[in-house]
């Protein structure tokens, strides 16, 4: 199973459309993260707080849309190498994703997360935590 297959069907479809739109524009893109376990999220949350490194996320396990299969991270690739520092490229990809209906982390004011997209179906993280989600909205 590929990472993208772990996303809810609607989110998977949007991610696939993003890959196609990027390819049309000569941008190679890889999906780096999709669904995460609570434990995986907590390990990432610790980085820059209780573990060395730059802060990766402000969301503890259960408080990330990654924990529900509705978020994914990506990276552009050139000549087989990840391109993490090309802000203009991330911005171009972000605009494409937004046009498709995704929420892009690069548009956030407090914690810009350029390599992140999500589709929440209009629900808040509290709705996910409290299991107040109509999962039918996430069918393709």
The per-residue DSSP string of the chain comes to: --GGGGS-HHHHHHHHHHHHHHHHTT-EEEEEE----HHHHHHHHHBTTTBSSS---S--TTSSGGGGT-EEEEEEEETTEE--S-HHHHHHHHHHHHHHT-EEGGG-SSS--TTEEE--TT--HHHHHTT---GGGG--
Average pLDDT, the chain: 95
Q: Give 82-133 pLDDT, tens digit per residue.
A: 999 999 999 999 999 999 999 999 999 988 999 999 999 999 999 999 999 9
CB atoms within 10 A of CB 128: 19
C-alpha–C-alpha distance, residues 74 and 90, integer Å: 9
Is residue 41 within 8 Å of residue 67, measured between CB atoms? Answer: yes
Range of the domain at 110: 3-138
Mean pLDDT of 66-90: 96
Domain count, the chain: 1
Tokens found for residue 123: 């629900």
Residue 97 maps to which CATH number?
3.30.1380.10
pTM for the full predicted model? 0.94
Q: Give 55-65 pLDDT, tens digit per residue.
A: 889 999 999 99
Tokens found for residue 120: 């929440």
C-alpha–C-alpha distance, residues 118 and 136, integer Å: 17
C-alpha–C-alpha distance, residues 47 and 17, integer Å: 32
């Amino acid at each position: 199973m590929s990472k993208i297959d772990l996303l809810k069907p609607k989110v998977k479809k949007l991610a696939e459309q993003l890959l196609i739109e990027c390819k049309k524009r000569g941008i190679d893109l890889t999906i780096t993260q999709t669904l995460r376990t609570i434990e995986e999220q907590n390990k990432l949350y610790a980085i820059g707080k209780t573990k060395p490194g730059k802060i990766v996320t402000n969301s503890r396990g259960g408080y990330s849309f990654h924990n529900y299969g509705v978020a994914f991270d990506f990276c552009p690739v050139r000549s087989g190498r990840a391109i993490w520092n090309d802000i203009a490229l991330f911005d171009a990809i972000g605009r494409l994703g937004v046009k498709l209906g995704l929420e892009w982390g690069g548009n956030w004011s407090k914690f810009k997360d350029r390599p992140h997209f999500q589709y929440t179906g209009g629900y808040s993280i509290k709705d996910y935590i409290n299991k107040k989600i109509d999962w039918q909205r996430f069918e393709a």
